Structure 1
């Protein structure tokens, strides 16, 4: 189960994220990027963050530690921004925190080279969870202490927004189009990634991962009798996808409005490698 802590101070919003996450300090002396149950995307974005983040960590990918954070809405009383005030008031109780990585830099392919093996593991994982939010436009990757870290998985597991589509997701009926994936230009070794990772995505592992999702975020899901029934559905879909997703990953050709790689100006813009994260 995820560690639990309580927010004691709201520091600042992160307006780059559509859900308006914020940096908070907690009573365990940690600093976290907090994602709120009262945000527009709702609790399913937090479920996706937990399932994808914990699964990625179990598979050896780098994701900042996730924690459960209790929030007292009174923290919002001194916040001058009305939008933030309303978000904090709507998010009392249990929320999600991600360990804040001080000094981390946004991924820049000109400053940080990713080898084909690591690119393959990340891309295969994104295909497994149906992550549509790791493009060169918005990589959701950080470089910290010279290593690549994955963040922001709230847009993954798209089928859980409409559970009747889950059987199709289980059979991986639609290709995972990776034409504009942030790591596609790195020559991802998908065969090696599949051989390494697919056998590790067992039902036992998935049951352990789904157990990290709080009952409160799974309760009252239409069509399910209990939170454990929802957990079982996630296990079923992800286990089936692990068996079949590799052959459904496509790196091209892209559609007319989705180029297969970053535009030329991004890959040729003068850049000093001395600025790479260390």
Structure 2
């Protein structure tokens, strides 16, 4: 939650899939007895105790919203952020945050059973909600695929749908395994440049990022694996590194055409071969239940012949 200062904050914050059918979710809701008191530890190390399974929920991060829908409990959401656009039902939920600033007054009025917040938000906002008697369960923004699995399991435990959480994780693992079976025959991985912010101030991702995990799982070599986190790219350095393919998640009128026509970029192998791919930012940037789809998107774009 981090460039363009405001832009990167929004980028990282908007970093989350669809609800399961109601029959499965109703069965899963019986995983935890409705009357039992139970405690779940959040990513601050705070033990949050629930007297009953939450029936009204607010999510302050799009990825967590997607997780809740995938677990089959999206119907309990009464508040979300401006960027909660998936699945379609999420668009109908009242907006209580822009992912940076939370309308605490409105959250308190709604009086949810639990608020799913994030560790890189404004801690004072969390403190204000807790001081008002609102239960806040903080989820650390995932930096790895394993972190996403952990988030799903934590949220499933809070919502009393542990079995459904295990099922969601197993489905994602199956998707990723299927991709990796197809790319196992690769003799050499392609070097790919991943752009998250467009010219003139171009930014990419290196090690220690969630996107790096997706790239690695798709059998692709990140051109900037030697860098850390999110960082500004030097065009001179990029031209010297000469990527074989380019992935962009930038939402503009025609990001591929723009990239292919950038001054000086015609010498790049990726540009000469027109191996520039625009992929859905919500899928690739949100550490939620669509990460299996994200890995598949990257792999099928870079190695289409392996998926025919």
The TM-score with structure 2 as length reference comes to 0.23
Higher relative contact order (CA 8 A, sep 6+): 1
The TM-score with structure 1 as length reference comes to 0.25
